[in-house]
Chains A and B, each alone.
Chain A
Amino acid sequence: MDLTLKIWRQKNANSKGKMETYQVKDISEDTSFLEMLDILNNDLESKGEDPVHFDHDCREGICGMCSLYINGHPHGPQQTTTCQLHMRSFKDGDTITIEPWRAAAFPVVKDLVVDRTAFDRIIQSGGYVSVNTGGVPDANELPIPKVVADEAMDAATCIGCGACVAACKNASAMLFVSAKVSHLALLPQGKVEAAQRAQKMVAQMDEEGFGACTNTGACSAECPKEIDLTNIARLNREYLSASFAAE
Chain B
Amino acid sequence: MKLDSKIPEGPIGEKWGRHKFGVKLVNPANKRKYDVIVVGTGLAGASAAASLAELGYNVKAFCFQDSPRRAHSIAAQGGINAAKNYQNDGDSVFRLFYDTVKGGDYRSREANVHRLAEVSVNIIDQCVAQGVPFAREYGGLLANRSFGGAQVSRTFYAKGQTGQQLLLGAYSALSRQVANGKVKLYTRTEMMDLVMVDGKAKGIVTRNLLTGAIESHSAHAVLLCTGGYGNVFYLSTNAMGSNVTAAWRAHRKGALFANPCFTQIHPTCIPVHGENQSKLTLMSESLRNDGRVWVPKTVELAEKIRSGTTKASDLPEDQRDYYLEAKYPSFGNLVPRDVASRNAKVVCDEGRGVGGTGLAVYLDFRDAIKRDGRDTIAGKYGNLFDIYEKITGDDPYSVPMMIYPAVHYTMGGLWVDYNLQTTIPGLYALGEANFSDHGANRLGASALMQGLADGYFVIPYTIGDFLAGEPYTKPSTDQSEFKEAEKAVKDQIDKLISINGSKPVDHFHKRLGKVMWDYCGMSRTEEGLKKAKKMVQEIKEEFWKDVKVIGTNEELNMTLEKANRVADFLELGELMIDDALDRNESCGGHFREESQTEEGEAKRDDENYSYVSAWEYTGEGKDEKLHKEELVFENVKLTQRSYK
Return chain A residues, CB-CB under 8 Å to B298.
Answer: none
Report yes or no: B136 in contact with A149, Cβ–Cβ below 8 A: yes
Choose the segment among A47-55, A210-218, A239-247 that binds chain B (4+ C-beta atoms closer than 8 Å).
A47-55
Chain B residues near A71 (CB-CB < 8 A): none
- Evaluate whether A139 and B140 lie within 8 angstroms (CB atoms) in the complex, with A57-B240, A183-B131 already known: no
A124 cross-chain contacts in B, Cβ below 8 A: 175-176, 178-179
Give, as a whole number of angstroms, the nearest-CB distance from B49 to chain A.
11
A136 close to B133 (CB less than 8 A): no
The reply to whether B128 and A143 contact each other, CB–CB distance below 8 Å, is no
- The CA-CA distance from A38 to B210 in the complex, in Å, is 20
CB <8 Å contact, B66 and A117: yes
Q: Are A61 and B387 in contact (CB under 8 A)?
A: yes
Q: B136, B161, B239: which contacts A59 (Cβ < 8 A)? A: B239
A157 at the B interface (CB under 8 A): yes
Knowing A57-B240, A128-B172 are in contact, say whether A143-B139 is a contact too (CB < 8 A). yes
Q: Is there contact, CB below 8 Å, between B555 and A12?
A: yes
In the complex the two chains form, is B393's CB within 8 Å of A78's CB?
Answer: no
- A59 to B235 CA separation, bound complex (whole angstroms): 12
In the bound complex, do residue B66 and residue A65 qualify as a contact, i.e. CB atoms below 8 Å apart?
Answer: yes
> Contact partner of B240 among A31, A59, A84, CB < 8 A?
A59
Minimum CB–CB distance for A37 against chain B, Å: 10
Q: Contact partner of B133 among A117, A137, A152, CB < 8 A?
A: A152
Contact B129 A131 (CB under 8 A): yes
Return the chain A residue nearest B452 by Cβ: A133
Contact B558 A143 (CB under 8 A): no
For the complex, give the distance between the alpha carbons of A124 and B504 in Å: 40
Task: Name the interface residues of A25-61: CB closer than 8 Å to any CB of B.
Answer: 28, 30-32, 34-35, 38-39, 42, 44-46, 48-51, 53, 55-61
- Minimum CB–CB distance from A209 to chain B (whole Å) comes to 18
CB-defined contacts of B164 to chain A, threshold 8 Å: 62, 157, 159
- Give bound CA distance, A178 to B606, whole Å: 56
Say yes or no for B319: interface residue by CB 8 A criterion. no
Q: How far is the CB of B508 from chain A (nearest CB, A)?
A: 13
Interface hit among B277-285, B363-371, B431-439, B596-604: B277-285
Taking CB atoms, residues of chain A closer than 8 Å to B518 are none
Question: Among A46, A86, A156, which residue has its beta carbon within 8 angstroms of that of B165?
Answer: A156
- State the Cβ distance, A57 to closest chain B Cβ, in Å: 4
Please tell me if A88 contacts chain B, counting CB pairs below 8 Å: yes
From known contacts A57-B241, A123-B172, A128-B172, infer whether A153 and B68 are also in contact, taking CB-CB under 8 Å: no
Contact check, B278 vs A59: say whether CB atoms are below 8 A apart. yes
The contact string, 1 if C-beta is below 8 Å from chain A, for chain B 156-172, is 00110101110010011
Please give, as numbers and ranges, the residues of chain A lying within 8 Å of B456 by CB-CB distance.
133-134
- Asked if A116 and B67 sit within 8 Å, CB to CB, the answer is yes
Closest B residue by C-beta to A185? B131
Complex: chain A residue closest to B132, CB-CB: A156
**In whole angstroms, what is the CA distance A57 to B86 when docked?**
36
Contact flag A189-B130 (CB < 8 Å), given A45-B548, A62-B74, A160-B67 = yes
A157–B187 alpha-carbon span in the complex (Å):
22
Asked whether A12 lies within 8 Å of B556 as measured between CB atoms, the reply is: yes
| Contact between A131 and B142, CB atoms less than 8 A apart | no
Interchain CA distance A55-B274 in the complex, whole Å? 23
Q: Are A133 and B75 in contact (CB under 8 A)?
A: no
A86 contact from B71, B127, B390, B551, Cβ within 8 A: B390
A77 at the interface (CB under 8 A from B): no
Given contacts A57-B239, A60-B282, contact A134 B142 (CB under 8 A): no
A143 & B141 in contact (Cβ 8 Å cutoff): yes
Chain B residues positioned under 8 Å from A62 (CB to CB): 74-75, 161, 163-164
Partner of B168, one of A32, A48, A109, A156: A156
Q: Find residues 546-566 in chain B having any chain A CB closer than 8 Å to their own CB.
A: 548, 550-551, 555-556, 558-559
Given contacts A35-B277, A58-B72, contact A143 B140 (CB under 8 A): yes
Identity of the chain A residue whose Cβ is nearest the Cβ of B500 in the assembled complex = A48
Task: Name which of A12, A31, A57, A124 has the most chain B CB atoms within 10 A of its CB.
Answer: A57
Name A109's contact: one of B68, B71, B556, B559 (CB within 8 Å): B556
Report yes or no: A184 in contact with B136, Cβ–Cβ below 8 A. Answer: no
23 chain-A/chain-B pairs, Cβ below 8 angstroms: A28-B274, A39-B276, A42-B504, A45-B559, A51-B559, A57-B239, A59-B239, A62-B161, A63-B75, A78-B390, A123-B171, A124-B178, A129-B131, A131-B130, A132-B54, A133-B456, A137-B129, A138-B125, A143-B140, A153-B165, A156-B168, A160-B69, A189-B129
Binding site for A on B (CB under 8 A): 47, 50-51, 54, 65-72, 74-75, 84, 86, 122, 124-131, 133-142, 158-159, 161, 163-165, 168, 171-173, 175-176, 178-179, 185, 187, 210, 237, 239-241, 273-274, 276-279, 281-282, 387, 390-393, 456-457, 460, 504, 506, 548, 550-551, 555-556, 558-559
The 9 closest A-B pairs by CB, nearest first: A143-B140, A128-B172, A136-B129, A153-B133, A139-B128, A133-B51, A152-B133, A30-B273, A57-B239
Give the B-binding residues of A (Cβ under 8 A): 11-12, 28, 30-32, 34-35, 38-39, 42, 44-46, 48-51, 53, 55-65, 78, 80, 84, 86, 88, 109-110, 113, 115-117, 119-120, 123-125, 127-134, 136-140, 142-146, 149-150, 152-153, 156-157, 159-160, 183-184, 187, 189-190
